[in-house]
Structure 1
Amino acid sequence: MANAVGMIELNSIAQGIEVADYMIKAAQVDVLRATTVCPGKYIIVVGGETGAVEASMKDGVKRSGPHAVDTLLIPNINDQVIPAIYMTNPVETLGAVGVLEFFSIASAITAADVAAKAANITLIEVRMGWAIGGKGVVTLTGDVGAVRAAVAAAQETAELMVGSTVIPRPSPKLLENLL
């Protein structure tokens, strides 16, 4: 499992594909996601050892030039974040639900990490840009106090936040839909 994650978001798909190639060749990293997102952007998310991710990001940012929209580097990422990006994080019990919405994908990933480190919650999903207008959305669950604490911690450090909510007792039909 990666202990560091880096991401570059570009406003050019062609440049994004080329930058992804450079990043992969620059260091021993895993490509967690390299894909188009709405509205016509391209994201590259890499993971691995901190030094390798830093080297990959340095080359990627340099090669992105004016096409770079946003970047992030999280050296000690919480173990839940990457599975939540893939929507494979095991969710044992569903309780209260927290939702964090951002204009930026990087902000959503950062918020998911902050929330998971702040309280005993389970990340359900980190949705990145596709079919949501390029936004990032984090959904999480746990007991209501933990969900409130996680959402509050993420809000304190959040950039480009659209909004958030905590649903103390969600409908079972909503919970089915979230999984």
Structure 2
Amino acid sequence: MRYYGEEALGLIETLGMVPAINGADRMLKAANVELIAYENIGSTLVAIMVKGDVAAVRASVDAGAAAAAEIGKLTASNVMPRPIRAVGDIVSVHDIDAGAGGEEEVPAPRHRALGLIETFGIVFVLEAADAMVKAADVELIGYENVASGYISVLVQGDVAACKSAVEAGVKAVADMGTQVYSSVVIPTPHPDLSKIISRYAIEKLLP
């Protein structure tokens, strides 16, 4: 949707995608805000933007920043109570609805848990993905190369299965002599996360 700066703007920015998604989920659940923009900026940075009244946006950003920092690196957060129209135009360049491709194409995680792992390098993330799907009844639904070597995989299933899958993926990477950058299980994803996740659906990425 087009954003005109008519409401307060809240932003968090993270190193990597997994902390950003965890932050977005918490932002949307913490207050009455609307997800308006998402962008993989490059050089591993990912941004989430929401709008709403000032108090709601402040609560949302506080919650999202804390959630992102719990599992990765938060690089920036901000609340802009009255952004100018031109700032709204820049935000609209990254309109989440324009990039989502329509809800009919979304893998529908709203009633299923999500498990996510992010590593530095494709060798490790492929090992993690293999271990995740072999360890539990989960479906590999997404993949993203954030840039500069940070790569993520996403699975969905019931909560217990996603927990087992993520544990197995983390262990598989540890057995290779390194650590995952970030991992998380989101038991009940906010429905609007589907707008982000749909961008990374494997079916859409295949040639």
What TM-score do you get using the length of structure 1 for normalisation?
0.46
Higher relative contact order (CA 8 A, sep 6+): 2
